């Protein structure tokens, strides 16, 4: 038992080190880390004496997937998610269901022996694009904010549709003498799963924010954060809800409510913790996939010709999925334009109604609030209007990843042609990451989609920072008057805050990726200064020149400066 534990620990440690090394190399040479890890994993598996890696499918779906989606959901603004909910719903429900159905029909025509339920199961496996891969790449390439939000939202919710389809198909596979999938049961299961998940996810999210608000220790706060996605997932699953949707809702609630309720230092700590987890776990899935690839190919043991045929089927499914996705986007664009026109007309009608309503009453105030919100929505839709170039980028960004790799391994052992199905799914994940992920940057540049550096954005940033600072200064002055604080102290504190206004306006005008700008150079100099301060403070600490408590206070000041600098860099 001790030897087995030592071996597992060694494998995990080596895996983490390999992931870190490959991720570093991939960033420097501009290649997607998952692809390098798949190749590395396959190479390791071919080494004589290499350990056989067999991860139970339940580990992927209950331990790995929930925190990955939770981490992504924490970063999605709720307002943007609400504004694009129609697009997200279309892509994550309708498109996933249609893609799974088309793949099932194609697959059944090629391999009639497997039956429709098995074909639909694989369709559900390969239908949902990966949430993390697409959005991370989109942000790095500077895609418009609305496009990134749509990709984030789609990737967060499409897994629920796919997994409900998969569970229904697997139930039909396991039912003796039956391979039919009942449409009524499918719709009913999906509706129940979503409703339960929405309730559970919201309850867990709001409760967690309240609990963490009063957590007195950082370690306890981190422990609660680590447990949250699993609590939400397991609670929803136990009530026949979608654990995936529940986790996403919980992440959205916490990510947007914590800005007010939870301290910045704890949110920074939470972000660092989950970012580390995401890098290790997501890349670990692809390393594991690579190590399983030789054995999966060996299981397709009917000769080299058959193996090539299975890979060809996987390539065909890639083409089918891309064709369905691109074909679904023009109707979406037309629908969005019609919705924007209808929303504008309703907004105008509501404005006319408000002219004859007393807005000081409860009903009048509510209608006025709705009118203001709709006005902001219309402005956002107008400024971030989706065109054919945006939708083409959305279509090309449909890479498959962690969910496809994990879900295909949940197929029952008695599934006909199981090894072939697993290999086909692996091919879809690898090829879409290689082809679509590898060429998305070229497509973005060819389409002229870049970062929004408009004058309007600069003015918005200057306005919001300015109003926030004015609010803060006014609050300081009220506090000073109430407690007799010297006005000179208020002036000193105000000067430090007012300096942020000019800096924010300047930062908005420069390219955040250009290392030659003064903003990048100032950031580099600040990093050098902080590093020098840290080294000097360490020498002082070891010399015993100052009291340890005093040194600790100085260390916290330097740490806060570094946290603030890192936050500025993450934002810009």
User: At 227, which CATH number?
Assistant: 1.20.1530.20
- Cα–Cα separations (whole angstroms), residue 522 to 247, 446, 530, 569: 40, 32, 12, 11
Is the domain of 533 the same as that of 478? no
Is the domain of 429 the same as that of 480? no
What pLDDT is recorded for position 408? 85
Is the domain of 292 the same as that of 208? yes
Indicate whether 3 belongs to any domain.
no
Mean pLDDT of the chain: 79
Query: What are the helix (H) ranges across 2-64?
Result: 2-29, 33-46, 57-59
Of 418, 447, 476, which residue is a domain's last? 447
Is the domain of 321 the same as that of 441? yes
Indicate whether 151 belongs to any domain.
yes
Is the domain of 411 the same as that of 534? no
What pLDDT is recorded for position 390? 84
- Residues 403, 382: contact at Cβ < 8 Å? no
Is the pLDDT score of 304 beyond 60? Answer: no
571/523: higher pLDDT: 523
- How many domains is the chain partitioned into structurally? 3
What pLDDT is recorded for position 511? 60
- Residues 196, 144: contact at Cβ < 8 Å? no
Q: Which residues contact 222 (CB under 8 A, 6 or more apart)?
A: 269, 270, 273
- Cα–Cα separations (whole angstroms), residue 334 to 74, 143, 151, 281, 434: 31, 21, 19, 39, 31
Indicate whether 368 belongs to any domain.
no
Indicate whether 30 belongs to any domain.
no
Is the pLDDT score of 489 beyond 90? Answer: no
Mean pLDDT, to the nearest integer, of 451-458?
A: 54
- Which range scores top for mean pLDDT: 309-313, 471-475, 536-540? 309-313
Is the pLDDT score of 200 beyond 70? Answer: yes
Mean pLDDT, to the nearest integer, of 210-235?
A: 88
pTM of the complete model: 0.75
Q: E strand or H helix at 47, and its extent?
A: none
Is the domain of 568 the same as that of 503? no
Indicate whether 303 belongs to any domain.
yes
Length of the chain as a residue count: 572
Mean pLDDT, to the nearest integer, of 437-466?
A: 68
What pLDDT is recorded for position 361? 80
Is the domain of 437 the same as that of 549? no
Is the pLDDT score of 228 beyond 90? Answer: yes
Comparing C-alpha atoms, which of 48, 23, 21, 53 is closest to residue 290? Answer: 53
Distance (Å, rounded) from C-alpha 290 to C-alpha 430?
A: 10
241/60: higher pLDDT: 241
Is the domain of 433 the same as that of 525? no
Indicate whether 33 belongs to any domain.
no
Q: Which residues contact 402 (CB under 8 A, 6 or more apart)?
A: 60, 64, 65, 68, 130, 132, 282, 285, 286
Q: Cα–Cα–Cα angle for 108, 109, 112, nearest 5°?
A: 55
- Residues 132, 429: contact at Cβ < 8 Å? no
What pLDDT is recorded for position 424? 92
Is the domain of 424 the same as that of 549? no
Is the domain of 522 the same as that of 400? no
Is the pLDDT score of 479 beyond 80? Answer: yes
Is the pLDDT score of 275 beyond 90? Answer: no
pLDDT in tens, 543-557: 766 666 677 767 777
How many other C-beta atoms lie within 10 A of the C-beta of residue 421? 25
Indicate whether 2 belongs to any domain.
no
Indicate whether 37 belongs to any domain.
no
- Residues 82, 262: contact at Cβ < 8 Å? no
Is the domain of 317 the same as that of 402? yes
pLDDT in tens, 378-436: 777 776 677 888 888 888 888 887 788 878 888 887 788 888 898 999 899 888 888 88
What pLDDT is recorded for position 474? 84
Domain that holds residue 524: 517-572
pLDDT band at 171 (very low <50, low <70, confident <90, very high): confident
Of 447, 473, 491, which residue is a domain's last? 447
Is the domain of 524 the same as that of 468? no
């Amino acid at each position: 038992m001790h030897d087995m534990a030592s071996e597992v620990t060694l494998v995990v440690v080596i895996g983490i080190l390999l992931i870190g090394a490959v991720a570093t190399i991939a960033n420097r040479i501009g290649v997607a880390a998952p692809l390098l890890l798949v190749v590395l994993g396959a190479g390791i598996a071919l080494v004589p004496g290499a350990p056989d890696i067999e991860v139970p499918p339940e580990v992927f779906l209950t331990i790995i997937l929930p925190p990955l989606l939770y981490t992504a959901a924490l970063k999605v603004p709720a307002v943007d998610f609400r504004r694009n909910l129609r697009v997200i719903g279309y892509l994550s429900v309708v498109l996933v269901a249609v893609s799974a159905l088309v793949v099932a029909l194609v697959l059944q025509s090629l391999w009639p022996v497997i039956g429709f339920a098995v074909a639909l199961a694989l369709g559900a496996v390969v239908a949902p694009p990966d949430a993390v891969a697409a959005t991370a790449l989109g942000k790095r390439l500077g895609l418009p904010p609305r496009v990134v939000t749509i990709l984030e939202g789609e990737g967060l919710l499409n897994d629920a549709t796919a997994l409900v389809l998969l569970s229904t198909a697997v139930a039909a596979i396991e039912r003796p003498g039956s391979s039919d999938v009942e449409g009524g049961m499918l719709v009913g299961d999906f509706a129940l799963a979503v409703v339960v998940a929405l309730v559970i996810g919201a309850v867990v999210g709001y409760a967690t924010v309240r609990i963490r608000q009063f957590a007195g220790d950082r370690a306890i706060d981190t422990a609660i954060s680590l447990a949250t996605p699993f609590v939400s997932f397991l609670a929803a699953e136990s009530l026949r809800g979608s654990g995936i949707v529940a986790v996403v809702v919980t992440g959205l609630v916490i990510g947007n409510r914590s800005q007010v309720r939870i301290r910045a230092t704890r949110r920074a700590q939470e972000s660092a913790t989950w970012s580390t987890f995401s890098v290790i776990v997501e890349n670990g899935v692809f390393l594991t996939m690579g190590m399983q690839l030789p054995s999966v190919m060996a299981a397709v043991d009917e000769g080299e010709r058959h193996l090539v045929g299975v890979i060809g089927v996987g390539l065909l499914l890639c083409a089918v999925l891309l064709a369905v996705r691109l074909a679904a986007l023009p109707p979406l664009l037309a629908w969005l334009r019609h919705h924007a026109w209808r929303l504008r007309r309703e907004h105008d009608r509501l404005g006319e109604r408000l002219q004859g309503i007393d807005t000081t009453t409860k009903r009048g105030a509510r209608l006025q609030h709705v009118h203001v919100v709709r006005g902001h929505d219309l402005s956002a839709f107008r400024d971030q209007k989706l065109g054919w170039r945006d939708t083409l980028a959305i279509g090309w960004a449909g890479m498959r990843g962690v969910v496809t790799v994990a879900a295909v391994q949940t197929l029952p052992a008695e599934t006909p042609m199981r090894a072939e199905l697993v290999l086909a799914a692996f091919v879809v994940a690898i090829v879409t990451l290689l082809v679509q992920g590898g060429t998305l940057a070229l497509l973005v540049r060819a389409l002229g989609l870049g970062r929004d550096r408009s004058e309007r954005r600069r003015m918005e940033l200057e306005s919001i920072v300015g109003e926030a600072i004015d609010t803060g200064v006014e609050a300081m002055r009220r506090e000073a008057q109430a407690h007799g604080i010297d006005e000179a102290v208020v002036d000193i504190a105000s000067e430090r805050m007012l300096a942020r206004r000019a800096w924010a306006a300047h930062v908005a005008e420069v390219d955040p990726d250009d290392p030659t700008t003064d903003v990048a150079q100032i950031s580099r100099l600040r990093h050098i200064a902080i590093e020098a301060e840290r080294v000097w403070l360490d020498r002082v600490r070891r010399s015993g020149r100052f009291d340890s408590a005093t040194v600790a206070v100085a260390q916290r000041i330097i740490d806060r400066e570094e946290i603030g600098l890192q936050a500025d860099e993450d934002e810009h």
